[in-house]
Structures are given as structure tokens and as C-alpha cells.
Structure 1
Amino acid sequence: MSAPARRGAVTALGLAMLAVTSEITIAAVALPGVGADMGVGPGATAWVMLAYTVPMAALGIPAGRWGDRADPRPVFLLAQLGILLGTALTVLAPTFAVLVVARVVQGVAAALVVAVYMPIVTASVPPERRGRAIGFIIMIMTVGTMAGAPAGGLVADALGWRAVFLVKVPAVLAAVVAGILFLDRRRVRGVPAPARSLLAEAVLLGGAVTAVLLALDGSGPGWRSPVAAVAAVVLFAGWLRLPAAGAVRDLVRRPSFGPTLAALFAVSTTAGLVSFLVPWFVADVLGGTAASGGSALLVFVAAVAVTSPVAGRLTDRFGPLRVTVAGGALSVLALAALLPLGAGTGWAALAGGMALLGVAGGVFNPAVNAAVLAAAPPGTEGATGGIAMTARTVGSAVGPAVAALGWTLTGGGSAGWRLGVAVLLVAAAAGTLAVLRPALRTPVPAT
């Protein structure tokens, strides 16, 4: 593939992933308007988010396995069509039930984008340049996510909540054009119909992941978490009896993949700091406003965006596992710097710690994605990407849940902050140590 075509393919994928990830932050600002317009409470509006994120996470592995049997280009374009269709249904939804169904359509389409993410990178970018490509994609995703919430807020104030869901449409249309022009046109496998075994896997494994996410979500009634936890165990046990589970277990047991997956899961729990601890720390301990908390998070996101392209180049130069270790170690250092903060803390100290954590995320994410891709046997890139997405999603759900539990047990305040940060620090350290040994055994790429 020529250099212009390679850049076009990476841009198409970056725009598509931007639409997928920014949908979460953009949709969040629409929730109050949805509740007021459709007469539902805050607890019910949470399903506007869950109806999107749950299918995306639940179908990660089954969709990835199906994506390995299909040509990436038509699946990519089909996914963009699904996102546009789901968006139209969302904007025109006459009732809350229709709105939730429309969000499920968007979530399924997002799962298809994730399913062909790594196959497209593999087909479009040579191994020695994949770190840079992934770093560029993460930069686009991060900048879009950073701009999504304020842009969505302005649109919601001016045009209402329905218009918020149209903000991503230009990115989707641009991804369609770039995909048509630059993605590999060769038809080798076509787009096969999902086999019955794949549908069974989607029901059992997808149901298990869904149940885990519902068990960790504390916004529902008290009985939901224990019931969901039991359902997750039963469904996962059923999936383990399927032949497809053996292929996934074989991937996870690979020496170059299992530790990387553990690091991805563990470091992803730091989402608990970003999405739970920082807003509550600013409000409860520092006595700040939502704008103060938002500015601290903005520093974090900006640091991720600036660091990711540089980290991609470092990944290509020194190898993904070594840079993954560096990113994990920086995460531990950032959490250690944030641990002693308390009532006398100034905003600058919090912002400095969040900036360091953002640098850590910018280093870690391109490297760990490249490490996952490097560990994938040929023809399993979609399944490998699905496993990684599931690990990241569950880790990102576990982190806030654990942080919230620590906050509740200590009564909040400085004690709640320090317990939550300490738990996340231990998790990040464990994940970093898991990948240290294979990193030291891997030779540095030749220059």
C-alpha cells in the first residue's frame, strides 16, 4: 500500500474511532434534556448511556471473531451505515423506549468498528510503523473526546438534546469517504453470515460481559448488582463449554499476550480516578465547582493528546512492550504524586498530577495496543482486538466501582480520596510488573 493510501486508511479509522468514543461524552450532556422532554428520571436516563456501551463491550469478542472471517472494508462501511441509522433513529425517537433501541443499534455498529480496527491497521500499516499509526488514531480520538462534551453542551443549549447526537455526523461521513477511497478493495472473504455457534457465543459471552457491567453499575436498585453477578457467572460458565472458548483461552495463554492483557486491564482501572475520584475530590475536599473539576480533567486529556503521537514513535523505535512498561511506571508515579493530596491542596498540585497521569496514558495506550497487535497470530487480529477491548472496558468499569466503594467505606473526604488512589496505584503497579518480564526478554527492534 502506498504512503498516501496508508495515511488515508489510518485517517478513516481514526475518524471512525473518534465517532465511537466521543459518543459517550457527547451523549452525557444530553441526559438532563432527555429526562425533561420524555418524563423519565435520572436513573432511567442512565440507560441512554448503557444501551450504547453495553452492546459495544458485550459483542467485542464475538464480533472480532466474525470480523476475522470477513473483508474489513465492507464491514467498516456497514458499521458507518449502522451508526448513521442509529443516529437518525435517536434524533427522531418519539418515545424513550425507541430512544434506547436506537442507542443499542449505535452500540452494535460501534462493536463492528472495533472488530475491524486491528485488521485494518494490520492490512494498511507495516509492523515497523504501527506504533505511529496507533498513536495518531489515539490523538484524534482524544482530541475529539475532549471537544465532545463542551461542543455537545453548546449544541444542547442552542438546539436541544436531539441535535447533540448529530455532532459526530461530519466525522462519520468523512470516515465513509476516506474508507471508500483508501481502504483495501480486495475481496478475499466477503461478508459471511454469522454462524450459529457465533450467535451462541454472542448470547453467552455478551450476556456475561453485560451482567458484569450491570453488577458494577451502582445506579440501579439494590437487588440488581447481586443478581447480575450471579447471571455473569452462569453465562460465563456456559460460554466456557463452547468450542470457541478454547480458541480465546489459547490466545490469552500466549506468553506475549496474557501479561499484556493483564497490564491493559489493570492500568485501565485508573479510569476510576478520572470519572469518579477527581470530581468528588474537587467538590467535597477542595470545595471547588464543577468547572474546576472539568479543568483538571481537561489538563489530563490534553496531556494524553500531546503525548500519544510521540509515544507511537517511541513504540516503533524501542518495541511496544518496553514502552508499555514505561507507561505503566509513569501511571504508578502519577498516582503516587496524587496520593497525599488533601484539604490544603491547591489546584496547581491536582492539575500537575493529572498532567503526569495524562502523559502516562499517552505513553501507555499506543504501546499496549501495538503490543496486543504484535501478539496476535495471523488471521486473529479481530478476535485479539475484541479481547483487548473487553479487558479495557471491564477494567474501566471496575476502577470507578472500586473507587466509589472506598469512598463510601471511609465516608469520603481526604480519606476516601487516598484509599481510592491507593487501590488504583496497587492495580497499576501489578499490571506493570506483569508485563515487565516479557518486555525484558524481547529484543529492541533493529533500526
Structure 2
Amino acid sequence: MPADGDHDAAARERSALFVATLTSFMGPFMISSVNVALPSIQAELGMSAVQLSWIPTAYLLAMAMVLVPAGRVADIHGRKRIFTAGLVVYTIASTLAALVPTTAWLIALRVGQGIGAAMFVTTGMAIVTSVFPPQRRGRAIGIYVAAVYIGLSVGPFAGGLLVQHVGWRSLFALMLPLGAVSVGVTLRFLKGEWAEARGEPLDIVGSLLYAGAIFALVYGGTALPSAAGGLLALGGLVGLLLFARRQARIAHPVFDVSLFRTNRVFAFSSLAALINYAATFAITFMLSLFLQYIKGLPPQTAGLVLVAQPAVMALFSPLAGRWADRIQPRWIASAGMLLTTLGLVGLLFLHPDVAIGRIVVNLALLGLGFALFSSPNMSAIMGSVAKHQYGIASGAVATMRLLGQMISMAVAAVVLAITIGQAAIAPANYPQLLGSLQILLAIFAGMCIFGIYFSMARGEIGK
């Protein structure tokens, strides 16, 4: 008969996985569904194009600025405490966003959503890693990652239905029951606390320096290829170097930069993650333009074609995580990066008359590659650090993902600016649009080759 301790441990694992999975679904669902709602929001609130762009940007910026400091605060004061507080902040901000009367209030509450999301994203993975033993951790991480892709897959379709039949405010209101359930399960069933750095001080100066540098880097990236955007991005890089220098010199850093210097598995796995996101995130954006402009598909049909990639990701991520429990993650992740490269190369030869089935097959290949890469790579990162560094490592993973996404979009913006310029997309410049897609695919495939190197060269982790 199982001991009471075994029952408690199993219940804690189920609770941790449930709340972490639900919250990992909520963020991507909100991001992808709000993108569908932007025209409706603009029409009701009378927003300018610049103001409209701040609806997604404010969320991403706030999240990026808070991720790493929130991980450190969680290691000091307790991961469950920060996780729960983040859920409360996110749920309140989302609920109020459903009631906003003005543009300024909506943007401000998107900042609140980003702060709350940063708090539960950076701690959710750390809690899962703390609760699950190494021999079952990969499977749990695979389920966690699958929820991200399910959110990305369901968001545009479900968001479109809600916006069309109920209105855009329903997207924000939906977060109230989801957030309330997550908070309730966390407080009722997730027993224990994890704060291996309890009592250590928080480097407030370093936290502010990091937040300022990330703001300049991310916001500058969104403004590329303008000169101001380039200067801001450069300033952000300088700020990050100053942050790293400070962290290397103090006793209790916000982020232990020595991990990149002394922990080969952590450093190379993080670089591989950055490259993978940078080489894939803008593909959906560019293919959406290709399908709707050059292929002439309506938005709903184009969306269904693009769902092939996240759907395959969601299907295979748990399986990849389970494999990572038995096989060294670098082999599975590197195979995934190789499949991603092949999928990019397969799309490189797109032309106006290409069959939709061929696009779907290559998108499915990209999805399989990303699924095989992401879960094992994340498992390798979390398994390579000590328990008191779980929050820091989890924040680093999320930061790499966000920076990779911004790099990907910045590269796409620069290529489009060079090939098409400031002109609106029209039949006259469809050849240039297709050319920009092919240039991007070639760049991204080349980046993946470097990603394969870092993935393989990381070494092995102890089980």
C-alpha cells in the first residue's frame, strides 16, 4: 500500500502540473486571440495605428522587463507566493481591461497583464522542476510546453468566434474564471513552498538596470530599421553588458552570469533556444502575408493552414519530453533543430502556384522539429542548475524565448524595408514580397545550422 507521503507527493505533482499548464495556456491564448481582436478594438476606442501597436507591445515589454527579477524574487521569497501573486495581478488586470473606457486605460492594464504573466511564467516552470523528480520531469515539461502551443493554436480561432459573436471585451473577461480556478487550485492543493535563496538580498540597482536595458532593446527592435530604433537597440545591448558586469561582481546577483561562463549545458542550451525562436517566430507572420496576398486565401482559410505548425507542436511535445527522461536531451533537441532546418529549406522554394498541401507538410515538419527541440532543451536547462537557481533559470528560458521572437520580427522588418520599403503591399510588389520571404527563410535556415552546433556541443546532463 502506498505511503501517505507518496499520496501527498503525487497530489502535489498533479496540482503543480495543472496550474502550470493552465497558466502556460492562458498567456499564449491571450496574445494570439488579442491579435485577431485588434481591428474591433481600434473601431470601438478610436485608436490610431501607433496606439493600436502598443496593445501587444505594452504586454511584451512589461513581461520582458520583469521576467528575470521576478525569478530572483521568487527564489528569495517563495515561488508559490510569487506565482500566486502573479496570477492575481494578471486576473485583476484582465478583468478590468474588459471594462476600460479609454485607450490609455487599456494600454496601462496590458502592462499589468505583462507584469502578472512574467511572475507566473518565470515561476511556473521552476515549480514544476522543483516538484517532479528528474526521471519524470521531462514528461511534465513536455505537457507544459504543449499547453503553450495549444494556446497559440486555439487563440486565433476561438478569439475570432468570441470577438464576432460576443465582442473583444469577452477575451479579457474569459481570464477571470481561468485565473480564479488557477489561484484556487494553487492555494488549496499545491502544498509546500520553494525558496532556496531565502534571506539573501535583492539587487535592486541590477534589477532596474536589467529592466531599462531590456526596454531599450525590445522597444528599439520594434522600431527597426529606423535610426532611432537602432540606437535604442544598441543602447539596450550596452545596458545588458553593464548589467552582466555588475552581476559578475556582486555576492548575490539578480542573475548568476557565471552560469553562462561555467555551466556549458546551461549556456549552450540557452543559446540554442534563442536561435530556435529567432529562426522560427516570424515565419507565421510572413506566411500569413504570402497566403493572403500572393495565394489570395481569405483570412480564415489562411489561419487554418497556419494552424498545422502549432497543432503538431502540441501533439508531439509531451512525447518529446517523455523521451528526454530516457535519452540525453541534446540528441532529441538536435534532431528537432535539424527537422526545423529541413522545414525551412522546404519552404524556401515557394512560388505563386505552389500547392497548399506542400505548405502544410512543411509547416508540420517545422512543428515536429520545434516540438522535439523545445521540451528536451528546456529539460536540459532546468536539469543543469542547482535548486536555488530554478527561478533564475526559468526566467532566463522565458527571456531567451522573448528576445528570440523580437529578433525574428526585427530581421523580418529589416528585410521587408529593404525589399519593399514604405510602400503598401500590392500586386505590383508581390515579387518583392516573395523575394523577402525567400531571403528570410535562407537566413533562418542558416541560423538553425548554428543552433544545431550549440545543441550538440552542450554536453550531457546527469540523470
Same fold per TM (> 0.5)? yes
* Superposition deviation, residue 276 in structure 1: 2.2
**162, 170, 180: which one aligns with 1:173:** 180
In 1, Cα distance between the equivalents of 2:197 and 2:384? 25
Matched, 1:421 2:441: yes
In 2, Cα distance between the equivalents of 1:233 and 1:190? 28
In 2, Cα distance between the equivalents of 1:381 and 1:187? 10
Matched, 1:67 2:74: yes
Q: Deviations over 1:126-184 (max 9, x none)?
A: 01111100111122222222212222222222232222212233322221222123323
* Superposition deviation, residue 222 in structure 1: 4.2
Q: Which amino acid aligns with 1:416?
A: S
In 2, Cα distance between the equivalents of 1:194 and 1:162? 41
Alignment of 1:200-239 (within 5 A): 200-218=205-223, 222=226, 224-239=228-243
* Superposition deviation, residue 436 in structure 1: 0.8
* Superposition deviation, residue 107 in structure 1: 0.7
Matched, 1:305 2:314: yes
Contact 2:248 2:258 in 1 (8 A): no
Partner of 1:287: 296
* Superposition deviation, residue 382 in structure 1: 0.7
Contact 2:65 2:211 in 1 (8 A): yes
* Superposition deviation, residue 194 in structure 1: 7.7
Alignment of 1:124-273 (within 5 A): 124-186=131-193, 195=202, 197-198=203-204, 200-218=205-223, 222=226, 224-243=228-247, 248-253=256-261, 254-273=263-282
Cα distance, 1:442–1:375 mapped onto 2, change above 3 Å: closer
Equivalent residue of 1:69, what SS? helix
* Superposition deviation, residue 377 in structure 1: 2.3
* Superposition deviation, residue 360 in structure 1: 1.0
Question: Which sits farther off after the overlay, 34-43 or 55-64?
Answer: 34-43
Q: Which amino acid aligns with 2:31?
A: I
Question: Which sits farther off after the overlay, 180-189 or 423-432?
Answer: 180-189
Cα distance, 1:14–1:194 mapped onto 2, change above 3 Å: farther
Contact 2:270 2:397 in 1 (8 A): yes
Q: Which amino acid aligns with 2:273?
A: L
* Superposition deviation, residue 425 in structure 1: 0.5
Q: What TM-score does the superposition give when structure 2 sets the normalisation length?
A: 0.89
* Superposition deviation, residue 201 in structure 1: 2.3
Q: Deviations over 1:358-383 (max 9, x none)?
A: 11111111111101101112301111
In 2, Cα distance between the equivalents of 1:425 and 1:37? 41
**383, 399, 412: which one aligns with 2:408:** 399
Q: How many residues align?
A: 440
* Superposition deviation, residue 109 in structure 1: 0.7
Q: Which amino acid aligns with 1:34?
A: I
Contact 1:272 1:402 in 2 (8 A): no
Contact 1:284 1:413 in 2 (8 A): no
Contact 1:408 1:416 in 2 (8 A): no
Cα distance, 1:319–1:245 mapped onto 2, change above 3 Å: farther
Contact 1:75 1:191 in 2 (8 A): no
Alignment of 1:102-121 (within 5 A): 102-121=109-128
Contact 2:286 2:437 in 1 (8 A): yes
Matched, 1:55 2:75: no
Cα distance, 1:229–1:2 mapped onto 2, change above 3 Å: closer
Cα distance, 1:176–1:434 mapped onto 2, change above 3 Å: same
Cα distance, 1:218–1:352 mapped onto 2, change above 3 Å: farther
In 1, Cα distance between the equivalents of 2:316 and 2:367? 8
Cα distance, 1:95–1:190 mapped onto 2, change above 3 Å: farther
Q: Which amino acid aligns with 1:48?
A: I
Matched, 1:9 2:16: yes
Aligned-CA RMSD value = 2.4
* Superposition deviation, residue 44 in structure 1: 0.9
Contact 1:271 1:400 in 2 (8 A): no
Q: What TM-score does the superposition give when structure 1 sets the normalisation length?
A: 0.92
Question: Which sits farther off after the overlay, 208-217 or 278-287?
Answer: 278-287
Contact 2:162 2:171 in 1 (8 A): yes
Question: Which sits farther off after the overlay, 226-235 or 325-334?
Answer: 226-235
Equivalent residue of 1:30, what SS? helix
Matched, 1:344 2:353: yes
Q: What are the ranges of 5 or more consecutive residues in structure 2 without an aligned counterpart?
A: 1-7, 421-431
Partner of 1:327: 336
Cα distance, 1:413–1:34 mapped onto 2, change above 3 Å: closer
* Superposition deviation, residue 119 in structure 1: 2.4
Contact 1:270 1:399 in 2 (8 A): yes
Contact 1:304 1:362 in 2 (8 A): yes
Equivalent residue of 1:395, what SS? helix
Contact 2:153 2:307 in 1 (8 A): yes
- Percent identity among equivalent residues? 27
* Superposition deviation, residue 242 in structure 1: 2.4
Cα distance, 1:424–1:64 mapped onto 2, change above 3 Å: same
Contact 2:340 2:370 in 1 (8 A): yes
Contact 1:239 1:245 in 2 (8 A): no
In 1, Cα distance between the equivalents of 2:300 and 2:279? 21
In 1, Cα distance between the equivalents of 2:201 and 2:165? 43
Contact 2:62 2:115 in 1 (8 A): yes
* Superposition deviation, residue 298 in structure 1: 0.7
In 2, Cα distance between the equivalents of 1:238 and 1:358? 37
In 2, Cα distance between the equivalents of 1:366 and 1:380? 19
Question: Which sits farther off after the overlay, 413-422 or 283-292?
Answer: 283-292
Equivalent residue of 2:174, what SS? coil
